[in-house]
Structure 1
């Protein structure tokens, strides 16, 4: 007879997705309903730890060691080129977007360059540690490798990206984000593909993904600040964002293919032994683990 935890054992990614959404929304909805303006940005921080907490909880519920999972996700020892890529890709796309926005807006806004540069420096620290980077312990550190054990890298990326976009829903409903939800979702799915390329290419380096996520969040708003805001653009900012990162994602799919999105094999979980259900079956059969 199965235990009450059997659904979590059989469907760990679905359990993770449901718990990540539930934890974050349970914090965001009551909190962001009471605060507005710049304060709302800081009020999003507690809920942004939902994916990390969900990954740890599901890992523990399945009888696996959270310490092993954390040790695996915190392993930063990779070639420096992957950390360089984590910085260069978002910044490169943002520079290209900036050039396009300046052309569309007819020039740089008056007195915008210095404040935009200062904001980028501050946002790099904030976004990497508290404003997005920490999500990667869940999205890439837990969900992606498990999905890649069953699906090709592109399908896994899209699945993570769609849930990741949905996870942000309260931020749109409660007017924290003044963006097009549909175009934002497209850009998030594109980000997800790019992050899978980084994750697989770097042999599962979550710290590099944390850095890329933080750099994306810090850099994409710089071009908008430089031209003086959305009001000076003839097209939606999120449309340009989706186009820029969408083109990079399509280039990666074309270059490496959907199976791995990388010159290396797709990464699957390495932080645990056999799943509890498999362990029980092994013990009942009297055959030891190899």
Structure 2
């Protein structure tokens, strides 16, 4: 047992990320084939995501490791400007994308008007909260934090963005519980930008609450504004992902954390930052 635990501890991140992909793919496949009822999907995917990570961390690091997953949620004393950024970032990116659409395609200005009807449905609001809460713990407070100890925060976020996209792929390919017609490559660009922004906010604040708000607003804005394929068209979704990703890269270039790309000279600094976390 001790040998198994040491093995899990030594390869905890790789095991955790691999398992969340496998478990989710099996779960979505069972939903799609009718083995499991579809009603389990809405919260089940997030509960599986969180419980899979929690189980791996419990085996590898014990209860202290599990409690450490929730510690960033206790940090709320940060500058109000970070909360303002978290609340407005995604909506700003949607608005900027749609303004470009109006300018270049002569689309109606009405597309800039937010539609709150769906987001105000209790079931939708709860799903967004649960998904954002579990996502913050798994992808940001755990995975990005761990990877940032070996790579730069930006590169760590890009690795997570790829894995995060792979986590979505069974739902996209089987069209289970997701917006229809999501192009995989455009989804990847979008998730890379989202992961990078989460890493940016987390690195500067170490606050899980700030990232939670950021994630809730990202998930809400895609419903409020017509930027996804079935409301705004595939072209709009592609443009949104590019605008979001470009804006995040500009934030890194201006405010850090730097270096964005790893170098031999920066490795000691990265390792020291990771140990400090």
TM-score range, shorter chain: 0.7 to 0.9
Quick one: which of 165, 190, 211 aligns to 1:209?
A: 211
Q: Distance in 1 between matches of 2:119 and 2:259?
A: 32
Corresponding residue for residue 276 of structure 1? none
Asked if residue 180 in structure 1 is aligned to residue 178 in structure 2, the reply is no
Asked if residue 74 in structure 1 is aligned to residue 77 in structure 2, the reply is no
Shift of 1:120: 3.7
Task: Tell whether the 8 Å contact from 2:229 to 2:236 is kept in structure 1 after alignment.
Answer: no
Q: Deviations over 1:42-78 (max 9, x none)?
A: 8343112333223311221113325532441321322
Corresponding residue for residue 196 of structure 2? 193
Q: Deviations over 1:74-113 (max 9, x none)?
A: 2132223322211111111112123233443621569x95
Secondary structure in 2 matching 1:17: helix
Corresponding residue for residue 159 of structure 2? 159
Asked if residue 251 in structure 1 is aligned to residue 250 in structure 2, the reply is yes
Q: Distance in 1 between matches of 2:200 and 2:11?
A: 25
Shift of 1:269: 6.8
User: Cα 1:57–1:239, aligned 2, differ >3 Å: closer, same or farther?
Assistant: same
Task: Tell whether the 8 Å contact from 2:94 to 2:227 is kept in structure 1 after alignment.
Answer: no
Structure 1, unpaired ranges of 5+: 272-290
User: Cα 1:53–1:118, aligned 2, differ >3 Å: closer, same or farther?
Assistant: same
Q: Distance in 2 between matches of 1:178 and 1:87?
A: 27
Q: Distance in 1 between matches of 2:32 and 2:259?
A: 39
Shift of 1:215: 0.7
User: Cα 1:146–1:97, aligned 2, differ >3 Å: closer, same or farther?
Assistant: same
The 5-angstrom pairing of residues 77-156 of structure 1 reads 77-79=76-78, 80-103=80-103, 104=105, 106-108=107-109, 113=113, 116-122=115-121, 125-156=125-156
Q: Distance in 1 between matches of 2:228 and 2:192?
A: 26
Shift of 1:227: 11
Corresponding residue for residue 280 of structure 1? none
Secondary structure in 2 matching 1:77: coil
User: Cα 1:33–1:248, aligned 2, differ >3 Å: closer, same or farther?
Assistant: farther
Q: Scaled by the length of structure 1, what TM-score is found?
A: 0.76
Q: Scaled by the length of structure 2, what TM-score is found?
A: 0.80
Structure 2, unpaired ranges of 5+: 261-269
Q: Distance in 1 between matches of 2:168 and 2:74?
A: 28
Secondary structure in 2 matching 1:118: coil
Quick one: which of 53, 56, 67 aligns to 1:55?
A: 53
Shift of 1:27: 2.0
User: Cα 1:191–1:227, aligned 2, differ >3 Å: closer, same or farther?
Assistant: closer
Task: Tell whether the 8 Å contact from 2:228 to 2:237 is kept in structure 1 after alignment.
Answer: no
The 5-angstrom pairing of residues 240-279 of structure 1 reads 240-257=239-256, 259=258, 268=274
Q: How many residues align?
A: 259
Task: Tell whether the 8 Å contact from 1:97 to 1:223 is kept in structure 2 after alignment.
Answer: no
Secondary structure in 1 matching 2:116: helix
Corresponding residue for residue 236 of structure 2? 237
